[in-house]
Structure formats: structure tokens, C-alpha cells
Amino acid sequence: MKKGMTKVSVMYPNGADKKFDMNYYCNTHLPLVVELLGDKLKGASAEEGIGSAAPGATAPFASIGTMYFDSPEDFGAAFGPNATKIMGDIPNFTNIEPIVQVSTVV
Amino acid sequence: MKKGMTKVSVMYPNGADKKFDMNYYCNTHLPLVVELLGDKLKGASAEEGIGSAAPGATAPFASIGTMYFDSPEDFGAAFGPNATKIMGDIPNFTNIEPIVQVSTVV
């Protein structure tokens, strides 16, 4: 994605007794998010954690979802009115409370 | 990036007394990493943390660097022999110990 864009990462930390339904996440949650955020969302991807720096180590995050917007204001305008619906769907696929990172692509 | 690719994120958590020299990171560290990893590295980007879900909140991570490879094996083959040089450059721009996430793009 282009320099200056706003990147929003939703990160699900791994841990004891943590569950994450990748099938629901990919096939139900992400399509819901894409539909709700509309055309302010300029791109999205998802990843499944498989490891860390040391071979065989557990991935720090079970999954990370990434979204791109033209500006932090566009993210706020798209996410704000849909926050309740989007956050309300999270317990349907995981008991992990996600960490949200908002960044500027440099 | 394409489904099935290996995504490696190097994340620098924010915190009290943490320092991060974005200028050195972008202009010296990242070019060094790109040069050392060679053609197994299929793409790279960097971001500067500006916030979180709640307006005005601090970004969980000062910065995140992202690299793409065709496979976890390619990452291991490119990073392994250069790990000492790459990790040894980190104290030149930050006192943060990074978290490394290896994922599959889904």
C-alpha cells in the first residue's frame, strides 16, 4: 500500500485457553467488516500466525487482520457507526480481546 | 500480497522510556535488511504507530516492519545467516525489544 495511507491492524494475541475459529473469521466476520466499512476501506487482508523468530516458537498472535484507509479520519468515519456491530461479532469466533494498532505507512 | 505467502512482522511495542529513531530505521536499518535478505524477500513495508481504536489513545506499537517471503523456509534461509548483523543494528535506533510474528496470508 502507498506511503501516507492509514493502516489499521487488529491483532489477536495467543495465550493459554485462547480459541480462534479461523473459518468463521475468514468466511463470516471479514465479509461483514468489508460490507459495513464500505468504500472508505481501500484494502484488507488477513493472516494466520504460524511462528516467531526462533524456529518452533509459538506465534505471538493467532491472527492479524489488516485494513487500509486514505486517512485516520476515514477510518473513524467508517468504523465509528459500525463499531458495535463489528465488535459484537468477535465473541462468535474468539475469546481473545484484540489489540488495535493505527499506523501511517512510511 | 498473495494468499499462501509468508508474512513476517517485526513489531516494536511502545512503553515508558522507550525510544525509536524513525529516521535511522527508514533510511539506514531497512535498506540494510533489504540488501542482506536479497531476492528471497518479495516485498517490504514499514509503518509508524499513530493511535489505537479509541480516539487519542497511544499506539500499541511505535513501529511495525513487514516483510513477505514465498515460504517460512525462504524466510529462515534469508534471515538465519544475517540474524546477527540485523539484530545487532537494532540498538542503533531503539531500546525496544521487538516481537516477531510469522504468519501465512489467508
Quick: pLDDT tens for B33-88. Answer: 999 999 999 999 999 999 998 889 999 999 999 999 999 999 999 999 999 999 99
Which chain B residue lies closest to A62 (C-alpha atoms)? B103
ipTM, 2 decimals? Answer: 0.92
- pLDDT computed for residue B10 by the predictor: 98
Place of cell 480459541: A19
> What is the structure's pLDDT at B55?
84
Q: Contact at 8 Å (CB) between A69 and A5?
A: yes
Residues of chain B in contact with residue A61, where contact means CB-CB under 8 angstroms, are: 101, 103
Q: Which residues have a Cβ under 8 Å from the Cβ of A10 and sit 6 or more positions away?
A: A64, A65, A66, A67, A98, A99, A100
Question: Would you say residue B30 has pLDDT above 90?
Answer: yes
**And the C-alpha cell for A36?**
459495513
To test the contact with chain A by mutation, choose from B99, B103, B104, B105 the residue with the greatest count of A C-beta atoms within 10 A, namely B103
CA dist A45 and A66 (Å) reads: 5
Average pLDDT score over chain A: 96
> Which of B74, B102, B105 to mutate: most A Cβ within 10 Å?
B102
How many whole angstroms separate alpha carbon B25 and alpha carbon A11?
A: 23
Using 50, 70 and 90 to split pLDDT, how confident is the model at A55? Answer: confident
pTM: 0.94
**CB within 8 Å: B49 and A22:** no
Do A7 and B47 count as a contact with CB atoms less than 8 A apart?
yes
Cα–Cα dist B75/A51, whole Å: 11
Q: Which residues of B touch A26 (CB under 8 A)?
A: 106
pLDDT at A39 (0 to 100): 97
Cell of A102: 493505527
Q: Is residue A74 over pLDDT 90?
A: yes
- Chain B CB contacts of A50 under 8 Å are 6, 72, 102-104
Residue B15 has pLDDT above 80, yes or no: yes
Contact between B47 and A76 using a beta-carbon 8 Å cutoff? no
Provide the CA B58 distance to its chain's centre, in angstroms.
Answer: 19
Q: Identify any residues that bridge with A6 across adjacent strands, giving them in sequence order.
A: A69, A104
Mean pLDDT for the stretch of residues A43-49: 96
pLDDT of residue A70: 98
Interchain proximity A47–B106, CB inside 8 Å: yes
Using the beta-carbon criterion (under 8 Å), do B101 and A61 form an inter-chain contact?
Answer: yes
Average pLDDT over residues A52-75: 95
Take residue B68 and report the three cell numbers written for it.
513477505
CB within 8 Å: B26 and A103: no
Asked if pLDDT for residue A1 goes beyond 80, the answer is: no
Q: Are B101 and A13 in contact (CB under 8 A)?
A: no
* Structure confidence at residue B1 (pLDDT): 73
Task: Compute the average pLDDT of residues A63-91.
Answer: 96
Q: How confident is the model at residue A91 (pLDDT cuts 50, 70, 90)?
A: very high
**Would the pLDDT of B92 be above 80?**
yes
Q: Which long-range contacts (CB under 8 A, 24 or more apart) does B69-75 make?
A: B69/B5, B69/B6, B69/B8, B69/B40, B69/B41, B69/B42, B70/B5, B70/B6, B70/B40, B70/B42, B71/B6, B72/A50, B72/A51, B72/B6, B72/B102, B74/B6, B74/B40, B75/B6, B75/B8, B75/B40, B75/B102
| Neighbouring C-beta atoms of residue A34, cutoff 10 Å | 12
Cell triple for B93: 535506533
